A and B are shown apart, each in its own frame.
Chain A
Amino acid sequence: DQQVKQNSPSLSVQEGRISILNCDYTNSMFDYFLWYKKYPAEGPTFLISISSIKDKNEDGRFTVFLNKSAKHLSLHIVPSQPGDSAVYFCAANKRHAGNMLTFGGGTRLMVKP
């Protein structure tokens, strides 16, 4: 059973608009969350993270929101650009598990010019 789920396999957004990617988790032991971005034929690259003691973290056009009671996090990209077209993975780190990550299934974002 997947402990980290990204229920939308794909998302299409117009350039300049907001992209919202969602992620749900089931294990209450997760206390750190990360987003990775992956282009075709490349490895994933780290994008942004958030600790469970926060509910928001912002880095330029990227903001991650965490709702612990709902076990839900989201990545907002504003404004979306064609270069943001990629697969986005949500990942979670368990307390006392070092830096081991559990990944979601990914969401393919397409930003149309």
Chain B
Amino acid sequence: NAGVTQTPKFQVLKTGQSMTLQCAQDMNHNSMYWYRQDPGMGLRLIYYSASEGTTDKGEVPNGYNVSRLNKREFSLRLESAAPSQTSVYFCASSENRVGYGYTFGSGTRLTVV
């Protein structure tokens, strides 16, 4: 099925460990996004990539890095995980047109202990 695929679905890390969250879309969208969801806070933008070869910081970028590997793939890296990064992470893709709805992946639930 066409859409956005995220891996892994679940992950437990120890404080200080690193990991990369993978995201791939097969919808030929130009723009990709990483959000985190926390209770009562909604979805907050971490990083986005308006097109292949570009990345920009969102609302909460500290502690994260991203790579837009090609048009399909956009990865999110935690270099040194902290308990404050315990969250559900969503990747999304869209066309870079106002009002164009995002297609979201099913999320990665990350716990940092």
Q: In the complex, which of the residues B31, B42, B48, B99 contacts A103, with contact meaning CB atoms closer than 8 Å?
A: B42
In the bound assembly, the distance between CA atoms of A106 and B38 in angstroms comes to 10
Contact A44 B90 (CB under 8 A): yes
Contact segment of A14-22, A67-75, A78-86, A92-100: A92-100
Does any Cβ of A come within 8 Å of B94's Cβ? yes
Contact A46 B102 (CB under 8 A): yes
Contact A103 B98 (CB under 8 A): no
Contact B99 A43 (CB under 8 A): no
Contact A89 B43 (CB under 8 A): yes
Contact B97 A45 (CB under 8 A): no
Contact B90 A98 (CB under 8 A): no
In the bound assembly, the distance between CA atoms of A31 and B98 in angstroms comes to 9
A-B interface contact total, Cβ < 8 Å: 69
Chain B residues numbered 55-113 whose CB sits less than 8 Å from any CB in chain A: 58-59, 90, 92, 94-107
In the bound assembly, the distance between CA atoms of A64 and B104 in angstroms comes to 22
Contact B107 A43 (CB under 8 A): yes
Contact B97 A99 (CB under 8 A): yes
- The interface size of chain B toward A, counting residues with CB under 8 Å, comes to 30
In the bound assembly, the distance between CA atoms of A93 and B33 in angstroms comes to 14
Q: With A43-B105, A99-B31 known to touch, is A51 a contact of B42 (CB < 8 Å)? A: no
What's the minimum C-beta distance from B54 to chain A, rounded to whole angstroms?
A: 11
| CB-CB nearest in chain A for B90 | A43
Does any Cβ of A come within 8 Å of B2's Cβ? no
| CB-CB nearest in chain B for A105 | B42
Does any Cβ of B come within 8 Å of A34's Cβ? yes
Does any Cβ of B come within 8 Å of A42's Cβ? yes
Give per-residue flags for A1-37: 1 if the beta carbon is below 8 A from chain B beta carbons, else 0.
0101010010000000000000000000001101010
Interface residues of B (CB under 8 A from A): 4, 31, 33, 35, 40-45, 48, 50, 58-59, 90, 92, 94-107
Known contacts A6-B42, A98-B98; 15 further A-B pairs (Cβ under 8 A): A31-B98, A34-B101, A36-B102, A43-B90, A43-B104, A44-B104, A45-B104, A46-B103, A89-B42, A93-B99, A99-B96, A103-B43, A104-B42, A105-B40, A105-B42
